[in-house]
Structure 1
Amino acid sequence: MRATLMYGPGDVRVEGVPDSIIRHPTDALVRVTASCICGSDLHPYHSMSPEDGPARMGHEFIGVIEDIGSAVATLKKGDLVVSPFAISDNTCEYCREKMHTSCSHHEAAFWDTIPDEGGQAEAARVPLADGTLVKLPVAVDSSLIPSLLTLADVFGTGHHAAHAGGVNKRTNVTVIGDGAVGLMAVLAAKRLGAEQIILMGRHKARTDLGLEFGATDVVSARGDEGIAQVRDLTGGHGTHVVLEAVGHMPAYDQAVGVVRPGGIISRVGVPQYEEGPIGFGSLFRHNIKLTGGPAPVRAYIDELLPEILNGSIEPGKVFDVTTNMDGIPQGYKDMDERSSLKVLIKP
């Protein structure tokens, strides 16, 4: 079978690899019918040491179950399923508390840490299949597939940012970042009732989509100028909630600059720094809360799925390019150069 491997910075290849097979009774073998490139995949694309490669890539996919282990009880061959980016049993104490990313089962993991498996491939072995996979009530060629694929990570992550930040109709919101996760955070904030949503981004095609998703204002300036513009839009106060969807220190500094006293900064951009200012002069002085983390998207699928199925939300609009497996290396390049927002892959 074919799969995507990263050998080092800027070096992505699609190559033949050994076929994925059932290894444990709780496994399912899934033929991948849709996957995508994530913004977080660009972090190793910039910095992965060649000594750590080649690494299998991809943690968001939909597919058809081709085989199941003897202990799999809730799924069967032929089911169309979506796989979250974290493997979980959906039964442990943490999963019951909707913290699937901290599942205590010994096989629990992020896809990026499972050897010889990944979603940007023709097939994948899914551990803990009963807990991880969610059956989809549509056909494999449904027009809803792009939106359903966002449940694997990007929409669930945007929702997690808004949920962790306590967004509701009484809060105003700043979203920092006009990448796919930032745009999904806009959609999630609108869905949860926020009436003022300020999107900080500088790419017009993306911020236009943000306006379609529910942003009320766009601020393209960064740094002190951007902070001042957000504060002007909020009567000088800043916003109750800031959803930081970038992961770099300047974005965190902007979040600190635009949050109002007593507000909440919710981070879901994978941090590319060890620490940020949290002391008296930044968070402590004004009772600002800091939250966020890897999104337990499995916990949100049941809530978000019906609105995708009935068409009331369409997060799949975040995909602006569709390619096959041969186009994956170019897809990475285009996303890195920001000529593409998010690339959908149909093997």
Structure 2
Amino acid sequence: MRATLMYEAGDVRIENVPDSVIKHPTDALVRITASCICGSDLWPYGSMTRADGPARMGHEFIGIVEDTGSEVTTVKRGDLVVAPFAISDNTCAFCREGLHTSCSHAQANFWDGQAEAVRVPLADGTLVKLPVAADSALIPSLLTLSDVLGTGYHAAVAGQVNERTRVTVIGDGAVGLMAVLSAKRLGAEQIVLMGRHQGRTDLGLEFGATDVVSARGEEGIEQVRELTGGHGTHVVLEAVGNMPAYQQALGVVRPGGVISRVGVPQYEEAPIGFGSLFRHNLRLAGGPAPVRAYIEELMPDILNGTIEPGKVFDATTNLDGVPAGYQDMADRKSLKVLVNP
């Protein structure tokens, strides 16, 4: 079968690899019908060394179950399913607490979904059956349940967004836009989107942002504070992952507020001492999103048309076009690329 491999920064190839097969009785074999390129894939695309490659890529997909192990009971051959980006059994103590990314029984949390097929461990706990056909117009939106919608929603939930909350979202990528949509869904009274790309921020306004601030650094911080009576916002949803974004979050969060980070951190140290978090009773939240915990909650809003998160996909390709898709996203020519193998 064909799959995506990254050899080093800027070097993505589509190659033949051994077919995925059932290895354990709890496995399912899924033929992928829709996948995508994630903003987090761009970090290794910009920095991976050849010593770390080649690596299989992709962690978001929808597909049709082709075969199952003898112990799988919740899905069967022919079912259309969505897979969250982290494997989980959905039954351990952490999963029952909604923390599927810390599942006690998942030996490997992430996988390689930019391919023609994939073996899914712990299929009963991981896969969720979809009540639509593979050619449904809802597929792009349902695919966001695999990662970006659940990640944006996790940021808002971890930040305790509610109808009395003023929110700043840092980052106008797909996750940032899903954080806007999620804050709106939870009733935030004000949502300031900090982003510099008008096509994206326009979509953010459609998703529920009340204000857009394109400036960065101290100028951007000052503009957010002007929009919020000088105090900043109760919650900051940081969807980028670099140090300037974290520093910007510190600058716009209100005393007593929360910084909720879901952008994959590209740094090991961040200020948390007296002069930053401690002095103003600030809290730090977020982390890898347990998107499996949110799928059943969010799916009805997609099925009934209340939300349309699939609008974040602004380009579509097949597997052959994936290398160019990486480059287009890295160059900010595309927001998020949908892949139909």
**TM-score, normalization: structure 2?**
0.99
- CA displacement, residues 119-141 of structure 1 (integer Å, 9 cap, x when unaligned): 00000000000000000000000
Structure 2 CA distance, aligned partners of 1:188 and 1:224?
Answer: 27
- CA displacement, residues 47-76 of structure 1 (integer Å, 9 cap, x when unaligned): 111112110000000000000001101110
Structure 2 CA distance, aligned partners of 1:84 and 1:275?
Answer: 29
CA drift at 1:275: 1.4
Aligned residues: 341
Contact 1:89 1:95 survives alignment (8 Å): yes
Structure 1 CA distance, aligned partners of 2:106 and 2:262?
Answer: 25
Structure 2 CA distance, aligned partners of 1:294 and 1:230?
Answer: 27
- CA displacement, residues 286-319 of structure 1 (integer Å, 9 cap, x when unaligned): 0000000000000000100000000100000000
CA drift at 1:110: 2.0
Partner of 2:51: 51
Contact 1:88 1:108 survives alignment (8 Å): no
Task: Look up the SS of the partner of 2:89 in the other structure.
Answer: coil
Contact 2:60 2:113 survives alignment (8 Å): yes
Partner of 1:324: 318
Partner of 1:215: 209
Partner of 1:3: 3
- CA displacement, residues 13-63 of structure 1 (integer Å, 9 cap, x when unaligned): 001111100011000000000000000001111111111211000000000
Contact 1:29 1:66 survives alignment (8 Å): yes
1:342 maps to which of 330, 336, 339: 336
1:119 maps to which of 98, 113, 119: 113
Structure 2 CA distance, aligned partners of 1:107 and 1:240?
Answer: 37
Partner of 1:132: 126
- CA displacement, residues 115-170 of structure 1 (integer Å, 9 cap, x when unaligned): xxx10000000000000000000000000000000000000000000000000100
**Consecutive unaligned residues in structure 2, runs of 5 or more:** none
2:38 is equivalent to residue 38 of structure 1: yes
- In the TM superposition, structure 1's runs of 4+ consecutive aligned residues that sit over 2 Å from their partners are none
Contact 2:33 2:62 survives alignment (8 Å): yes
Task: Look up the SS of the partner of 1:232 in the other structure.
Answer: helix
Letter in 1 for 2:144: T
Per mean C-alpha deviation after superposition, the further-off stretch among 60-69 and 48-57 is 48-57
Task: Look up the SS of the partner of 1:110 in the other structure.
Answer: coil
Structure 1 CA distance, aligned partners of 2:214 and 2:316?
Answer: 28
- Following superposition of structure 1 onto structure 2, how do residues 268-279 of structure 1 map, counting pairs within 5 Å? 268-279=262-273
Contact 1:107 1:128 survives alignment (8 Å): no
Letter in 2 for 1:155: L
Letter in 1 for 2:219: E
1:301 maps to which of 295, 305, 316: 295
Partner of 1:197: 191
Aligned residues with identical type, % of pairs: 80
1:143 maps to which of 134, 137, 141: 137
Root-mean-square deviation (CA, aligned residues, Å) is 0.6
- CA displacement, residues 203-248 of structure 1 (integer Å, 9 cap, x when unaligned): 0000000000000000000000000000000000000000000000
Task: Look up the SS of the partner of 1:31 in the other structure.
Answer: strand
- Following superposition of structure 1 onto structure 2, how do residues 76-225 of structure 1 map, counting pairs within 5 Å? 76-111=76-111, 118-225=112-219
CA drift at 1:108: 4.5
Structure 2 CA distance, aligned partners of 1:106 and 1:21?
Answer: 18
Partner of 2:327: 333
Task: Look up the SS of the partner of 2:234 in the other structure.
Answer: strand
Letter in 1 for 2:310: G
**TM-score, normalization: structure 1?**
0.98
**Consecutive unaligned residues in structure 1, runs of 5 or more:** 112-117
CA drift at 1:107: 2.8
Partner of 2:64: 64
CA drift at 1:106: 4.6
Contact 1:90 1:100 survives alignment (8 Å): yes
